Amino acid sequence: MSTALDFDVIVIGSGFGGAISADLLSGQGHKVLVLERGPWRDTLPVRSMGIEDRAALPLGGRVFTHALRSVRIGRFRLPLNRKGLFEVQSFKGLHVASASSVGGATIAWGALVERPEDPAFWQDRHPDLDAAAVEQHYAKVIADLEAVELTPDTPIPTSIWDQLPAGGNRACVAAQEQPRLAMKFAASIDQAGASDTDAHGIERQSCTFDGDGFLGSAGGAKASVDFIYLARAMRQGAKVQALCEVSAIVPIPVDDGPAYEVRFKNLRTGKNETCKARRVVLAAGTLNSVQLLARSGGLAAMPALGQGFGANGDLLGLWTRDEDAPSGLVAPPFIGNINAPEQGDAALGIASLAWLKDLPVLRHLHKALSRRFLVVGMGADSGSGRIGFKNGRLTVDYDAARESVYSRIRGSFARLGKETGSKVWLIGKPLTVHPWGGARIGPDPRQGVIDHRGEVYGNQGLFVADGSALPAAPGRPPALAIAAWAHHVAGQVARSLEV
Ligand SMILES: Cc1cc2nc3c(=O)[nH]c(=O)nc-3n(C[C@H](O)[C@H](O)[C@H](O)COP(=O)(O)OP(=O)(O)OC[C@H]3O[C@@H](n4cnc5c(N)ncnc54)[C@H](O)[C@@H]3O)c2cc1C
């Protein structure tokens, strides 16, 4: 049967997985459509791209209207604002926060760029996967994001070296190895906020130290994939449709290889629409990608779907500093990693609260806020969690008590508090912004949902390029691993279109 196909590739989602796939595939001349349920954000780089329909970041008073897209508590889901930034889901053993925007979670991310903790992360995942073929993309991603290593000389008003100066008899110290930051800093603190325009007219402002955090970066100091990868994809001919929420991926019969119909709701018009393509790249973020695979009737069975899910050991604490410590309200979002004797293979970072400064309810609390920092712990968990579906609803089965990484992080937080004279206050149930797995790569369909090329077992032409594909917890911020995987998958999709 001959069916007219609208696109070569439909990409679902526009975070690292989707934006990179769209960039690489459109760069090779393929006709690409990106469907993203969130809106473009009103930032300096996006304005300079000429995008007209933009939604506000949840900054200042907009926090009340634009912070949340939806909240789920157990079985109950409350939709709030289709242009809201965060989707927060609370399950029995775990809270999960993800973001919804053109640019995916990079609108909200901390811009930390690190390799997985295990140098052999991609090894032995599938007999035909050459780990080096994925790892080769790390350097390109770091260059694309212009990520710079954090050092004592980085021109920022306060860093981990200021908060934990050398000397004294402390066991908690600034870590020897610091992550890279995908942030644009001016040459000196006095020049903070200076802007420049690249050869394609995209304008960015350097970090102003009073925002650029988890509520978004209005001036574009924080690298996000909307202007880093999607701008180029669009110049290459890719079409990006914001506010389009995919509900199903349905195989369709054509006589020359696999093809799919993608069903979605245009959230602007409220109408249901469809489009067809030879290949589909799924990159809707860990929980949403697994949900779409489970809900799409007509796909071949995926026995391992939902298995091998984890939270990357994410644990959050609040650290209070002395009155005379440098203020955390004039700072970049992340100020550095620390080492503590208890941490083992976990990583411990310190983030500022400068991005909370302009929230109306907190304006009277500046003095208290200036002395407070977030302590962020993460490390490899086992992947014994499970994403499931009951009566059409998403369920997550995750038992933090079985994951030893959390006790190592709690021990480190306790040590930091003791040595600096203030208890680190901890959120009891883990809140992860780094969910991984559920549609992971595996050597066969019983142990994985996708093969070494990212293609879903039994569903030719359907690929997974996001956090759900990860085979294990990176134990570090996962974006670099996801971005490298997306490069690998996009290369495989392109090859599959050649034959
Ligand atoms: C607050 C925060 C801070 C973070 N900080 C860091 C950090 O410093 N370093 C790091 O490495 N990682 C960080 N992360 C995690 C990192 O950003 C993510 O792991 C990464 O961006 C995931 O990429 P992805 O492609 O898997 O999906 P996402 O970036 O989650 O993108 C998925 C996109 O798909 C869209 N979507 C979902 N369902 C549908 C649907 N049905 N139809 C259409 N579109 C859909 C979503 O709206 C979203 O925009 C952070 C995350 C958050 C939330």
Residue 239: per-residue pLDDT: 98
Ligand 1, atom nearest to 16 Cα: 25
Tell me the CA–centroid distance for residue 321 and ligand 1, in Å: 31
Q: For the range 394-397, what are the long-range contacts, defined as Cβ-Cβ under 8 Å and sequence gap of 24 or more?
A: 394/72, 394/89, 394/287, 394/291, 395/91, 396/89, 396/91, 396/92, 396/93, 396/94, 396/96, 396/287, 396/309, 397/91, 397/92, 397/93
In a domain, 131, yes or no: yes
Ligand 1 centroid from CA 1, angstroms: 38
pTM value surpassing 0.85: yes
pLDDT for 1 beyond 70: no
The preferred substitution site among 11, 16, 86, 441 for testing ligand 1, maximizing ligand atoms within 8 Å of CB, is 16
Task: Indicate whether 436 belongs to any domain.
Answer: yes
The pLDDT value recorded for residue 382 is: 98
Pairing mode of beta strands 271-282, 260-266: antiparallel
Of residues 445, 495, 27, the one with CA closest to residue 236: 27
Ligand 1: residue of 21, 98, 273 to mutate (most ligand atoms within 8 A of CB) is 98
Q: Cβ contacts of residue 142 below 8 Å, gap of 6+?
A: 113, 180, 480
More confident of the two residues 85 and 61:
85
Average pLDDT in the chain: 95
Q: Is 331 in the pocket of ligand 1 (CB under 6 A)?
A: no
Number of domains present in the structure of the chain: 1
HSE-up (13 A, CA, CB side) for residue 300: 12
Ligand 1 pocket, residue 246 CB under 6 Å? yes
State which of 288, 295, 436 you would mutate to test the pocket of ligand 1, scoring each by most atoms of that ligand within 8 A of its C-beta. Answer: 288
What element of type H or E holds 287?
helix 286-295
What mean pLDDT comes out for the span 226-238? 98
Q: Is residue 446 part of a domain?
A: yes
Band the pLDDT of 286: cuts 50, 70, 90.
Answer: very high
Confirm whether 89 is domain-assigned: yes
The per-residue pLDDT for 357 is 84
Q: What does the alpha-carbon distance between residue 496 and residue 129 come to, in Å, rounded to a whole number?
A: 16
Encoded tokens for 439: 């549609």
Q: Is residue 399 included in any domain, yes or no?
A: no
How confident is the model over 373-408, as pLDDT tens digits?
999 999 999 999 999 998 888 999 999 999 999 999
- Is residue 212 predicted with pLDDT exceeding 70? yes
- Check which CATH number belongs to the domain holding 448 and give it: 3.50.50.60
Q: Check pocket membership of 285 for ligand 1, CB cut-off 6 A.
A: yes
Would you say residue 261 lies in a domain?
yes
**Do residues 394 and 291 touch, judged by C-beta distance below 8 A?**
yes
Question: If DSSP codes are grouped into helix, strand and coil, which group holds residue 357?
Answer: coil
Is residue 167 predicted with pLDDT exceeding 70? yes
Output the pLDDT for position 3. Answer: 60
> Which residues constitute the domain of residue 61?
7-152+180-311+430-498
Residue 359 forms part of a structural domain? no
Q: How far is the CA of 15 from the centre of ligand 1 (A)?
A: 5
For the CA of 103, the nearest atom of ligand 1? 49
Q: How far is CA 302 from CA 94, 259, 294, 297, 490, in A?
A: 25, 18, 9, 12, 22
Q: How far is the CA of 72 from the centre of ligand 1 (A)?
A: 17
Please indicate, yes or no, if residue 301 is contained in any of the structural domains.
yes
